[in-house]
Structure 1
Amino acid sequence: MLLKDFPQECWESIFKFLGQGKDLESVSMVCKKFLSITNQVKFSLTIHDSTILFLSRLLSRFLRLKAIDFSHFNGELEDILHQISQSGLDLDLINLSNQRTLPVDGLRELGTKMINLRVLICSNVGSLRDSHLVVIAYCFPFLEELDISFPLDSQASDFGLLRLSSMLENLCKIDLSGNHLITDKSLLSLCQNCRSLEEISFFQCFKISQDGIASAIRMRPSLSSISFNIEKKRIHGPGLTPLPINLDLIDSFVSLKRLNAIDLSNSFISDEFLISVADGAVNFLKKLVLQDCCNFTFSGIFYVLSKCQYVQSLDLRKADFLTDQCINKLSIFLINLTSINLSGCCQLTNSTFFILTRNCPLLLEIKMERTYIGVEGEEDSNSMSDFVVNRQVKAVHLGDNILLNDASLIKFTSICAGLQLLDLNACEGITGECVAEVMKRCYVIRHLNIAYTGIEKFEINFEVSQLKVLNLSGARIEDESLSIISKWCSGLMLLDIQNCWYVTAKGVREVIENCIALKELNLRNCSLVDDDFVCGLMHARPSLRKIITPSGVDFYG
């Protein structure tokens, strides 16, 4: 069948599978037919400062856009939102995060056109006031998801939240985190008025009391996701005893029968609290985040996981009571686990890695940063033939493990030969020879972070065709290593060599000439490379979209 005879619907299905990123952009350059089809299947657009010059052209080109992201944009938004409101688009999502302030007039105009807007993200804005919340509710009455978390200057109070909750009847998900003035009134109003509410987050909202949380849970027992932290306050007196958890709050969690996700990061909790969560969510809980929590024990987490065996994502960062033996006991309940974070669990050794890869058949991601990994445990006494190969694991994060050595890493990657992401940031015991061996074994690897490992040479003599992202920040490499990278890693899309003090313009030029797919290049603090040389790189490699110069200036193409 000829290209022209292949049905457009089939091409659209194929291109949708590629996603909305750089792969789709590359396809659009093949021929006019592909350009036309990609125009129809591109649904999201990220705006950078340099994008503004072409915005009107982009809006008329991508007529099916559903999401626009301004979180990387640093300019004024009022005129831009006016352009978007006049474009005829029917947007589903707008991300206004990281803006100095919310563009009130632009939102009002947008609200007259984008009546079906479903998701609005306004995280980390410079200031947030009650008037902003009223405008949001008035302009976008059909919102289902709203994120107003962590404004730098929050003046939002119960007044604004009460107005907002009374107008957004369809709200399903809201993140209030970091708005320190709101109280129990806001939480109860949301649970009472927003009858579709399923997910709510309110980290660092310490005027919301434990009694208020308990009342809200009982008012809205259909919540599927809740995220908050119980402040680690202490009672003045001998020993500075932490404030106890309200028994009413503990009891209330039994009513959350459909809870599938709970995040209690940085909280003072107890085993009794965890038991209550498990007794309520026994058949539904899929995500449990207890990172940086204190006052619970192995008994508490054992009870939860023995009752809730559908957990897919588990975060126990800094649970420093955990040992290899603990993980072995827990692993029999983790048959559905896909992601685990054990970073900062300082007693865990290599044995935990082997236990997880052997006993968790669906595991995709392992995070074991800042542990005792690199030290042999009981499992290391086995021969390599005793280890179970697990090709399901796709991402391993082992950063800041100063004891990790070549021998241990070779074992890990022999077991997880299907790795696509490997993070070895600041693992100073790893050598360049070991990295080369890892890349040979994990031939489908796409993302490799070996920043600040002390590696002096990057030596491979084989094609690494799948590698897209390479971070060599702080390495002691010279131009010779860049020459090898440009020859054998020609498919690179992002190269980070900041603080590589020995590379020169010669090595950088070779990378630019040979890595034809390169999109981003970080040269910050590469003191032997001149800024004037960098300015001409955009013309030498048209695919480049972002360069960070040695002096730290961002250039966008």
Structure 2
Amino acid sequence: MRGHDRINACLPDEVILEIFRHLDSKVSRDACSLVCKRWLTLERLSRTTLRIGASGSPDLFVKLLARRFVNVKNIHIDERLSISLPVQLGKRRGSDQLALSSPKLQYVSEISGSEEGQVESYCLSDAGLTALAEGFSKLEKLSLIWCSNISSVGLMSLAYKCIYLKSLDLQGCYVGDQGLSAVGKCCKQLEDLNLRFCEGLTDMGLVDLALGCGKSLKSIGVAACVKITDVSLEAVGSHCKSLETLSLDSEFIHNKGVLAVAQGCPHLKVLKLQCVNVTDEALIAVGTRCLSLELLALNSFQQFTDMGLSAIGNGCKKLKNLTLSDCYFLSDKGLEAIAAGCKELAHLEVNGCHNIGTLGLESIGQSCQSLTELALLYCQRIGNSALLLVGRGCKFLQALHLVDCSNIGDEGIGSIARGCQNLKKLHIRRCYKIGNKGIVAVGENCKSLTELSLRFCDRVGDEALIAIGQGCSLKHLNVSGCHQIGDAGIIAIARGCPQLNYLDVSVLQNLGDMAMAELGEGCPLLKDIVLSHCRQITDIGLAHLVKNCTMLESCHMVYCPGITAVGVATVVSSCINIKKVMVEKWKVSQRTRRRAGSVISYLCIDL
């Protein structure tokens, strides 16, 4: 009833705050914060997370945020954020995770070479980090992504003030040893630490941190830190007894460091290695000592063999996730050892391991009945019979990814379709032996399929998509480069998949306006569509598409000669939620540019 406030009169602050905490939708939170001043205040109190881009006047900016959002415990600052419109300091943008844009991003393109140094003032500095520490003393999680102006001075201020810090991400920050030592000295509850691309650090900083807060530390990530060596890992192994996750990408780590961690951290669950100087000796130690290991990722290994992987299979019985990427000396024997020992394996990715073939994967299919996701990338020696056994043995498989697997064809895909009827995701790229027969089997058997990607599979045509449209309710479809697909196949999808929200039909030369009209009628939830290089689609088809697809957020339509400035204007004016339109610059009229210049991107600006 107008003039009567029945909610504020009855509900105490605590109840309204609890309601706000359960709102996940940005739109809902924004609407609530605009109801009245009381709700605005309470909605600010309910915020626990802020997401911030770089900002000018960091002292003033962070202090303003601290006054408004006093209960914030998680802050993410990422200077890579590509937000073009700055937010004025006196204005507010409501959302569950406040996104504040960067004036730097607007000004960089406007400054001249002589003014280049001014950009520095729009990056978070030590002064800004000090202000943040003073304003958010309850901080538990902080991410500083590529904040290049931060040094040990700012990090020391943070450490002294934010003693409850549990997670610290310094990716791309040029901080030094003094700052990291201060974190170890003061932040005794620190559990997660990311030092990827922190080029200013040496062993001294990480050793001091391990000495200071090693008892609480559970996760460490190091990449491209050329001065961090085995000395640091020896300190980690000695003092971080609760360590569960270790990620290393370094040419300066050897067996000695990994051995120290394996011997000193028996609770290790996640190990990701991209260290070309680590050999079988280290992996054998991991297999012997780290019996709780659940995830192992080995990337670009050139010095270890089946002996190391066999040790993992023999010792790590709890292994659930295994990634093998560019491991040239692994063969079927190593994968057979994994299959024999790791019965709980749920995720397997084999990428570019050219000596692993059909026999290795057959052993996985026979022994690993819990497998839910399988990715085979650039596996030229794996054939159909391997997928036959996976289909028979892995009934719970939900996702299959195939890239450049030249010996896998319709027979293998058919085996998966008939045996793994819980399949939800099927992504195939450049597997030229896979055609209509295999995909028809998927449509007939895999009723739970929601994501289908068939990129550059030139034997797949309309017959396959008709079966998919009749049997599955897709949300995501990518048939880019499948030149045999035309209107009939996409029309079947439009009529059979009303939940579709993503569609990529780029490089389909036979696709025309009739399919666009059917998509407009049948897929009102469509948010993203890629039409690039579709020569038969015109402004007419585009108009039919956007007439009912009012939720459309992005549309890529470069190199579509039938689409003109009229079609671009139609998309911009009809889709109120549009965020990105990619098109040639000459197809955008002055009026469209004035109306929606911020959402238009140009792939080839000179066309």
Short-chain TM bin: 0.7 to 0.9
Structure 2 gaps of 5+ residues are 82-104, 106-121, 173-195
Match for residue 211 of structure 1?
281
Task: Give secondary structure in 2 for the equivalent of 1:347.
Answer: coil
CA deviation after TM superposition for structure 1 residue 376, in Å: 4.4
- Partner Cα separation in structure 2 for residue 11 and residue 147 of structure 1: 37
Structure 1 residues 506, 145: CA separation in 2 closer, same or farther (over 3 Å shift)? farther
Matched, 1:201 2:206: no
Alignment deviations for residues 21-65 of structure 1 (CA, whole Å, 9 cap, x no partner):
x66666657855887776566655443457989766656348345
SS at match of 1:332: helix
What's the counterpart of residue 391 of structure 2? 331
Query: Which of residues 446, 450, 455 is equivalent to 2:501?
Result: 446
Q: Counterpart of 2:503 in 1: which secondary structure?
A: strand
2:588 matched to 1:529?
yes
Q: Is the 8 Å Cα contact of residues 96 and 123 (structure 1) preserved in structure 2?
A: yes
Alignment size in residue pairs: 522
Matched residue, 2:80 = 72
Q: 1:189 aligns with which of 228, 236, 260?
A: 260
Contact 2:399/2:425, CA 8 A, preserved across alignment: yes
2:268 corresponds to which letter in structure 1?
Answer: L
**Is residue 436–residue 461 contact of structure 2 (8 Å, CA) maintained in 1?**
no
Distance 1:471 1:251, change over 3 A: same
Q: Tell whether 2:583 aligns with 1:512.
A: no
Cα 1:106/1:378, change in 2 over 3 Å: closer
Contact 1:165 1:190 in 2 (8 A): yes
* 3-state SS of paired residue (2:285): helix
Q: Could you say which residue in structure 1 is the equivalent of 2:180?
A: none
Residue 400 of structure 1 corresponds to: 456
The question of whether the paired residues in 2 share the 8 Å contact of 1:134 and 1:164 is answered with no
Partner SS for 1:84:
helix
CA distance in 2, matches of 1:161, 1:550: 46
Aligned mates of 1:353, 1:24 — CA distance in 2? 44
Q: Per-residue CA shift, 1:76-125, capped at 9, x if unaligned?
A: 33344334323326445444445558744333333334444444445576
Correspondence list, 1:88-487, <5 A: 88=136, 90-97=138-145, 103-122=151-170, 128-131=199-202, 134=205, 137=209, 142-149=216-223, 151=224, 154-163=226-235, 166=238, 168-177=240-249, 179-203=250-274, 205-229=275-299, 231-232=301-302, 245=305, 247=307, 250-268=310-328, 269-282=330-343, 284-372=344-432, 375-377=435-437, 387-388=444-445, 390=447, 392-417=448-473, 419-454=474-509, 455=511, 457=513, 458-460=516-518, 461-462=520-521, 464-476=523-535, 477-487=537-547
How far apart are 1:193 and its partner, in Å?
3.8
Pairwise CA RMSD of aligned residues?
3.9
After superposing the two structures, state which structure 1 stretch, 139-148 or 457-466, moved more.
139-148
Deviation at 1:498, TM superposition (A): 4.5
Identity between Structure 1 and Structure 2 (%): 18
Q: Tell which structure's C-alpha radius of gyration is larger.
A: 2
Q: Quote the offset at 1:281 in angstroms.
A: 1.7
Are the counterparts in 2 of residues 211 and 249 from structure 1 also a CA contact under 8 Å? no
CA displacement at 1:291 relative to structure 2: 2.1
Contact 1:335 1:362 in 2 (8 A): yes
Moved more, 332-341 or 461-470: 461-470
* 2:278 alignment partner AA: I
Q: Which whole-Å CA distance do the structure 2 matches of 1:34 and 1:428 have between them?
A: 55
Give 1:358 deviation, angstroms. 3.3
Please state whether the residue corresponding to 1:368 is helix, strand or coil.
strand
Give the drift of 1:551. 6.7
**Does structure 1 conserve the Cα–Cα contact (< 8 Å) formed by 2:464 and 2:489?**
no
SS of alignment partner, residue 337 of structure 1: coil
Q: 1:492 aligns with which of 552, 559, 563?
A: 552
- 1:255: Cα distance to partner? 0.9
Aligned mates of 1:108, 1:529 — CA distance in 2? 51
Contact 1:118 1:145 in 2 (8 A): no
Q: Render the CA deviation track for 1:403-452: whole Å, top value 9, x for unaligned.
A: 221121221232222x1111222323322453233122110012222233
Whether contact under 8 Å (2:346, 2:370) holds in the other structure is: yes
Cα 1:215–1:446, aligned 2, differ >3 Å: closer, same or farther? same
Letter in 1 for 2:576: I
Say which is worse superposed, 463-472 or 400-409, in terms of deviation: 463-472
TM-score when scaled to structure 2? 0.73
**TM-score where L is the length of structure 1:** 0.79
Name the SS for the 1:202 alignment partner.
strand
Gaps (5+ residues) in structure 1? 234-243, 539-543, 553-557
Q: Secondary structure at the match of 1:372?
A: coil
Query: Which of 39, 52, 63 matches 1:47?
Result: 52
> In structure 1, how many angstroms separate the alpha carbons of the residues matched to 2:482 and 2:213?
49
Report SS of the residue matched to 2:202.
helix
Q: Displacement of 1:11 after TM fit?
A: 4.2
What SS is found at the alignment partner of 1:267? coil
Q: 1:198-251 deviations in whole A, cap 9, x for unaligned?
A: 111012x11112212212332322222111136357xxxxxxxxxx82636523
Alignment partners' CA distance in 2, 1:29 and 1:485: 35
